Amino acid sequence: MERIPILKMNEFLLVSIQVDMHDRLAMTLQDDLTDRIVRDRARGVLIDISSLEIVDSFIGRMIGNIAAMSRVLDAETVVVGMRPAVAITLVELGLALPGVRTSLNVDKGMELLRSSLARGGNGHRDAGR
Amino acid sequence: MPDDETLPVRSSNDIVVVRQVVRMRAVEIGFNLVEQTKIVTAASELARNTIDHGGGGSARLQSLRNGGRAGLRLTFEDKGPGIPDIELALKDGYTTGGGLGLGLSGARRLSNEFEIQSRPGEGTRVTITRWK
Amino acid sequence: MAIRGRSRLSDVVSKHEAAILTDWIKEQLAAVKAADRIGEAELRTECARFLTLLKVALRSDGSHDVSSAAWSETRELLGELSRSRARAGYSPSETAAFVLSLKRPLFDRLRGEIGGDADALADEVWQTTLVLDRLALFTTELHQKSRDEIILRQQQDMLELSTPVVQLWESILALPLIGTLDSARTQVVMENLLQRIVETGASIAIIDITGVPTVDTLVAQHLLKTVAAARLMGADCIISGIRPQIAQTIVHLGVELSSVITKATLADAFVIALQRTGATIGRATKA
């Protein structure tokens, strides 16, 4: 069965979503990621969606779930690299991804996670304040 | 590519195929990137509805040329239980499938024309059109 | 009555081509002062070409159906002419006059040739009128189309010219909006801004609306959607330069702006943006 690879980078996990995900793959990712957060004692998760050409409400919900579950497991989630057309469409769709933090690219996302860890708390930027 | 074709919508993989074919059609018609993304996202929402609520069905894709205007019309049809209260189903956040309840209302916002026909026990047909 | 289908017009044109040309050009120079904008030499070339094509078309097509294949070269010439005149600022009637002013020279020659037979003359005049009117309408339509294309292109040019996204500092973009915002323009401007955010990696964008006279609900919604979209991408927006009237409008319209950072001036917004990106500014003390 195909899986989306999860990379470990120091205390963070990096997931780069490259494919047009079908629903089962998305559910598997959710399971794998929560497992890895616990196993690797990860403090943050970066979800790179710069390759995704669309995000529909299903994927949006999955991202929201991952963020919420990570928070329970004491890890921050940052979604990075959302394309402008995808962002415009999500807003029109009515999906603001509340509680999900965002960054322009992996580097900036990493920076955000680090500064948030250093402050020892939740950062200030939520996607859907 | 034909101007009028019908694809099956039965499995999660079919949703991916519908998205890809809608994208190709949208590019062919000359939609810009944002327009493409909107119609593909709407198609994804409606295809998932067809499976989750209608027990599977079909998606019809029609490329339209109306005088100087070009557009894409998508019709999703199922023989499922139907929707008893369409007004309610179109409300943001209303869901029976455990989702976010943005499928129908979201698809409507992402298209220029939206039409829904549903009879309890007979099935549902949703048609959306987006013009260039 | 003349025999239907084979008019004598083409014979008349062939026989008196040079004279008709001279009369026709005289007619045009007098009527529309074409010489103001177009050289007489150029006009002569165009007229001569048209007469030649007209002659050929009339000979091969007795039905005078100007949309048929026999007239394709004539239509092409008129198309070129209409487009170039539309660009040069001619009015539709000035453009159509090119064809219509040919009537008198043609009628004159027809009268000279078959003036004795009133029925035949009336018939020929009628046929000639039909052909020229149709060709004139054709030029008018093309003229209109060319004008529409010009207007569309200018609108697009203006859209691009009027919405520059400028980089103020590392990671800080500004979009100074000037003029009336309609829904279509706002949409293009906003897509452009989001694209520039990706390209430059800017974390803050200042949308300055000092130069915007009014904001309606739709435009306010677009602004908010842009702020929301930028946030999803990982960038913050600040809206600056909200004038008192616009502030009132926004409140009256019930648009929820509380989730957006707003500042009175671009300068205030810039200071906030610098702080957010970790930069500090201050006056250097004199040594």
CATH number at residue A100: 3.30.750.24
Do B44 and A85 count as a contact with CB atoms less than 8 A apart? no
Nearest to A101 by CA among C178, B116, C203, C21: C203
Domain with CATH 3.30.750.24 in chain C: 166-276
Residues B4-25 pLDDT 10s:
999 999 998 899 999 999 999 9
Copy the structure tokens of residue C277.
């990106």
CATH number at residue B58: 3.30.565.10
Distance CA C116, CA C287 (A): 108
Of C201, C203, C233, the CB nearest to A87: C233
For C71, residues 6+ apart whose C-beta sits below 8 A from its C-beta are C57, C61, C65
Q: Kindly report the number of other CB atoms within 10 A of residue C161's CB atom.
A: 8
Whether residue A61 lies within 8 A of chain B, CB to CB, comes out as yes
Closest-CA residue of A relative to C257 is A129
Residues C89-145 pLDDT 10s:
888 888 888 899 999 999 998 898 888 888 888 988 998 898 899 999 999 998 888
Do A89 and B38 count as a contact with CB atoms less than 8 A apart? yes
Size of interface A-C (CB pairs under 8 A): 64
Considering only residues A66 and C285, tell me which one the structure prediction assigns the higher pLDDT.
A66
Distance CA C162, CA C78 (A): 36
Burial of C218 per CB tally in 10 Å (0-12, 13-18, 19+): middle
Instruction: Report the side by side order of strands in the sheet with B123-131.
Output: B4-9, B57-66, B69-78, B123-131, B113-119
Find the helix or strand (DSSP H, E) in which C226 lies.
Answer: helix C217-233
For the domain spanning C9-156, the CATH number is 1.10.490
Residues of chain C contacting A105 with CB distance shorter than 8 Å = 201, 234
pLDDT of residue C36: 61
Structural domain span for residue A67: 6-119
Residues C194-248 pLDDT 10s:
999 999 999 999 999 998 888 888 888 888 899 999 999 999 999 999 888 888 8
Q: Rounded to whole angstroms, what are the CA distances from C106 to C4, C46, C95, C126?
A: 19, 17, 19, 12
Give CA angle at B51 (B50, B53), nearest 5°. 70
Do A103 and C234 count as a contact with CB atoms less than 8 A apart? yes
- Band (A27; pLDDT cuts 50, 70, 90): confident
Q: What is the mean pLDDT of chain C?
A: 85
Q: For chain C, state the CA radius of gyration.
A: 32
Indicate if the pLDDT at residue C37 is higher than 70: no
Q: Where are the beta strands (DSSP E) in A10-121?
A: 12-16, 44-48, 76-80, 101-103
Closest-CA residue of C relative to A109 is C234
Checking ipTM against 0.90, whether it exceeds it is: no
Structural domain span for residue B91: 4-131
pLDDT of residue A123: 44
Q: What is the mean pLDDT of residues A7-30?
A: 85
Do B15 and A94 count as a contact with CB atoms less than 8 A apart? no
Instruction: Report the side by side order of strands in the sheet with C236-240.
Output: C166-169, C172-178, C204-211, C236-240, C261-263
Domain with CATH 1.10.490 in chain C: 9-156
Query: What is the count of structural domains for chain A?
Result: 1
Whether residue A128 lies within 8 A of chain B, CB to CB, comes out as no
Instruction: With respect to residue A124, please indicate whether it lies within any of the assigned structural domains.
Output: no
Which of C218, C225, C232, C261 to probe the A interface (max A CBs under 10 A)? C232
Closest-CA residue of A relative to C198 is A104
Using DSSP's 3-state secondary structure scheme, residue A18 falls into: coil
Of B12, B99, B109, the CB nearest to A92: B109
Nearest to A116 by CA among A80, A79, A77: A77
Do B45 and A23 count as a contact with CB atoms less than 8 A apart? no
C50: Cα within 13 Å, side-chain hemisphere: 24
Point out the residues of chain B with pLDDT beneath 50. none
Instruction: With respect to residue A112, please indicate whether it lies within any of the assigned structural domains.
Output: yes
Do A20 and B19 count as a contact with CB atoms less than 8 A apart? yes
Q: What is the mean pLDDT of residues C142-151?
A: 86
- Band (C2; pLDDT cuts 50, 70, 90): very low
Domain C166-276 falls under CATH 1.10.3720.10: no
Instruction: With respect to residue A63, please indicate whether it lies within any of the assigned structural domains.
Output: yes
Pair type for strands B57-66 and C166-169 = unpaired
Distance CA C100, CA C250 (A): 56
Query: What is the count of structural domains for chain B?
Result: 1
